[in-house]
Structure 1
Amino acid sequence: MVQLIISDLSKTYDNGVKALQNVSLQISNGMFGLLGPNGAGKSTLMRTLATLQEADEGNIQFGELDILQDKNELRKVVGYLPQEFGLYPRLSAGVLLNHLAILKGIINSKERKNKVEELLHKVNLHHVRKQKLGSFSGGMKQRFGIAQALLNNPKLLIVDEPTAGLDPVERNRFYNLLSEIAEDTIVILSTHIVEDVKNLCTNMAIINKGKVVLKGSPIEAINSIKGKVWKKIIDKSELEEYEANYTLISKKLIAGKPIIHIFSENNPNNNFQAVEADLEDVYFSQIFGN
């Protein structure tokens, strides 16, 4: 089984922002979730893995390939769907996918035609293959993005915030497709939707301020804070006081009043109630509780 091994990867931009700080991860076949707030370093890591930018320090090994040294070899086996990707709105799905197949080196016309047909069926776009891409919905565009990423039969598939703006039906269809692909491919899913990582990924990592602050399976992560999350409904005027006196990990409004979740090894009393922890609590405890 091919593994992706990231060792002590660091990247600092010219403006001084430390996008990655000694990031180390070991990723095997299946779907791997990457969580983190905006600016955490997720996209920098994705682009580095896809050989679209350089790291300052560290190593990335994919099987026998040194990604940072053998970029051209890695590009033969990697598929990448960025958060935003451009399409030619006046071209049809079939025409553009055929053109992209040529760019990816599928020169034999019969082989190329078969591959394009296969992928259009796989992403459920074959029936609209003659339709202009400018008329596609957001979900259809994302599925086309996956089709182009799969042209070279990748062994490593990287998808960056792939379901932003999709409705629940499109999102589920998209994730079912990714789950199928992940059976014999490493799929790295960068997202801000915590529940999706819990439902889809066998392993995960949380990145904050360029550092890996947690890695492991979602179940292990949830078990690590079991019995340590507490909730309470408070008045808005009390919020500042609770933020000062407790490790506040999340807050949201219910019927106009804040309900807060705190992290505490022991019962904090003061009318707090125990909460059955979920991955969102894990995420917020790592991002805001440290």
Structure 2
Amino acid sequence: MELIINNLSKTYANGVKALQNISLEIPKGMFGLLGPNGAGKSTLMRTIATLQEADKGTITLGNLDVLKQQNEIRKVLGYLPQQFGLYPKISAEVLLNHFAALKGITNKPTRKELVKSLLHKTNLYDVRKQNLNGYSGGMKQRFGIAQALLNNPKLLIVDEPTAGLDPVERNRFYNLLSELGENTIVILSTHIVEDVKELCTNMAIINQGQVLLKGNPLKIIENLEGRVYEKTITKPELESYKNNYQVISERLFLGKPIIHILSDTNPGNGFSPINADLEDVYFSQIFGNTTNLKSII
């Protein structure tokens, strides 16, 4: 089963073109949707999740029309939005049981076993009696995944799931999503490059409502090999380097800027070649005006 998006577009009433002819084929497994805030990621996720209409285009999941068969899609969809509310004075076990009942799981023993299984899967069973207001950010995210899995979805959408999590919680979440991706289409929408690098076998970069690049992360990185160079400079030199080189990223180390540039030939001038990574790919697309990496399958 694949999720196929074809020429999807959405323009809001204020004139913002949130999606511009988006086309993607998303197979079973982990798919990373990478882009900066405001790129159109959440609009695309909400549209796939049947929470808003598109102006034009189609989305199909297997033989289901996502835009026209919304009730059928919701039966096989799990969704963890970027922001979601929880009842703070209710335990995880009670609330998950309540959600299961709302999703039509009426047999009490079946529902009890399902809730128990999901609490184990998300590593929350030992704190199942604890009220949700005592949960950490990562625990709340894992509870969000648990409720999204109640209907054994064929498609799972998670929108910015690791923002604000500490490294330990982020690794736990990575492991959970990786396990889920073995049998489900999982779309991970994020602006954190590390999330995609750690988890996804396929990805797309979008910005200003358009797909800039799509393909396998490792193959995409290979395409940049031998083209990324690094140099430590002084702060007053930064603007000059931006004017004379294709600077794709900059960071500070011991107070001095380290810049990465994209060049088809060795630029000399003290630059050193480095191994490209997914962050270089991302910044080259968002800031480097690169146009020759459109699709690498």
- TM category (shorter chain) comes to over 0.9
Name 2:88's counterpart in structure 1. 89
Residue 112 of structure 1 deviates from its aligned partner by 1.1
Residue 196 of structure 1 deviates from its aligned partner by 2.3
Q: Does 1:173 align with 2:175?
A: no
The TM-score with structure 2 as length reference comes to 0.96
The 5 A counterparts of 1:1-290 are 2-290=1-289
**1:108-143, Cα deviation, whole Å (9 max, x unpaired):** 212111111111111111121111111111111011
What code does the residue aligned with 1:89 have? P
Distance 1:237 1:166 in 2: 35
The TM-score with structure 1 as length reference comes to 0.98
Residue 195 of structure 1 deviates from its aligned partner by 2.1
Residue 286 of structure 1 deviates from its aligned partner by 0.1
Contact 2:174 2:198 survives alignment (8 Å): no
What code does the residue aligned with 1:193 have? I
Alignment length (residue pairs):
289
What code does the residue aligned with 1:8 have? N
SS of match in other structure, 1:158 = strand
Distance 1:289 1:201 in 2: 23
The farther-off stretch of 232-241 and 214-223 is 232-241
**1:167-221, Cα deviation, whole Å (9 max, x unpaired):** 1111111111111111110011111221221121100000011100000011111
Distance 1:28 1:222 in 2: 21
Distance 1:127 1:276 in 2: 43
Identity in percent: 72
Query: Where in structure 1 do 4 or more consecutive aligned residues deviate above 4 Å?
Result: none
SS of match in other structure, 1:134 = helix
SS of match in other structure, 1:223 = helix
**1:226-285, Cα deviation, whole Å (9 max, x unpaired):** 111111111111111111111110011111111111111111122211111000000000
The farther-off stretch of 190-199 and 53-62 is 190-199
Distance 2:90 2:176 in 1: 24
SS of match in other structure, 2:247 = strand
Distance 1:271 1:125 in 2: 52
What code does the residue aligned with 1:226 have? E
Distance 2:192 2:40 in 1: 16
What code does the residue aligned with 1:102 have? A
Distance 2:282 2:53 in 1: 28
Distance 1:13 1:268 in 2: 44
What code does the residue aligned with 2:57 have? G
Distance 1:109 1:142 in 2: 26
